[in-house]
Amino acid sequence: MHCGQLFCGEFTSIRFKTSDFCNQIFSYVWRRGRLIEVYHSNFVNEEEFAKACGCPLLPLKTHIKGPAPLSNRDNTDIVDEAITFFRANVFFRNFDIKSSADKLLIYLTFYINVALKRLEGCRTLAGGTKAIINLGLENVTVPGEAGFPFAGLFSLPQSKKEAELFRNYLKQIREETSGRLLSVAYRPNGTPNKWWLAFAKRKFMNFIVP
């Protein structure tokens, strides 16, 4: 199992497992110190996947229609990675890219940041679901189009077909991420989870969340 290490304060370190990223750690780090290591995607074998705009079209555990290959339900996918490590990675202003999959991890981290901002004032799961649906209705841009948040991070599409392939992949992965995010941002009784919604105030890589 992949393990990492957070450093907070001066010399204090906290070790964690990805499956047990406890709320107390985030509370302590947020209030008392800073992170010095960023979490990277484990999808490093880029040759296995088709690409669009320099981004691998990674498999997803999803029932949502789109161009993503289907992943085994027992496997970890890029959405799992993005959500599991959002509350660590969102603290960073810089992200050292080690693979093309890191680009997608950056995009999803920013998207989760945007989604949490929309959920910030929603006090019930029903209200949050409505806000997420409205977010899903917004236009999804691709590299080279106005409003795309990461100019230069992804390659420009070389054809209209490539642009639409990447757009449809982003739509699919955003929708899948939104559904899973609701399950952690709200408790089973439908009330907000403060350990998640508090992170709506963060600015990933210093981007102003719309």
Q: What is the pLDDT of residues 91-133, one digit of tens each?
A: 876 778 888 999 999 999 999 999 999 999 899 999 999 999 9
- Regarding whether 133 and 152 lie in a shared domain, the answer is yes
- Give the number of other Cβ atoms within 10 Å of residue 154's Cβ: 21
**Same domain, yes or no: 65 and 24:** no
User: Is residue 70 located within the same domain as residue 166?
Assistant: yes
Burial of 120 (0-12, 13-18, 19+ CB in 10 A): middle
Residue type at position 171:
K
∠ CA(56), CA(59), CA(64), 5° rounding? 115
Residue 146 and residue 118 share a domain: yes
Residues 19 and 117 grouped into a single domain = no
Residues 72 and 137 in one domain: yes
Counted domains in the chain: 2
Write down the pTM of the prediction: 0.80
Same domain, yes or no: 15 and 46 = no
54, 30: one domain: no
Please indicate, yes or no, whether residues 78 and 6 belong to a single structural domain of this protein.
no
Mean pLDDT of 169-185: 96
Whether 39 shows a pLDDT value over 90: the answer reads no
H runs (alpha helix) in 85-190:
86-89, 100-119, 125-136, 160-185
Cβ proximity of 147 and 140 under 8 Å: no
Query: Which CATH number belongs to the domain containing residue 171 in this structure?
Result: 1.10.1760.10
Residue span of the structural domain in which 48 resides: 42-206
Q: Could you tell me if 46 and 33 lie in one domain?
A: no
Does residue 135 sit in the same domain as residue 193?
yes
CA distance 50 to 40: 20
State mean pLDDT over 197-203. 81
pLDDT tens track for 136-166:
989 999 999 999 988 889 999 999 999 999 9
Q: Which residues of 162-197 are buried (b: 16+ CB within 10 A; e: fewer)?
A: bbebbbbbbbbbbbbbbbbbbeebbeeeeebeebbb
The answer on 67 and 32 residing in a single domain is: no
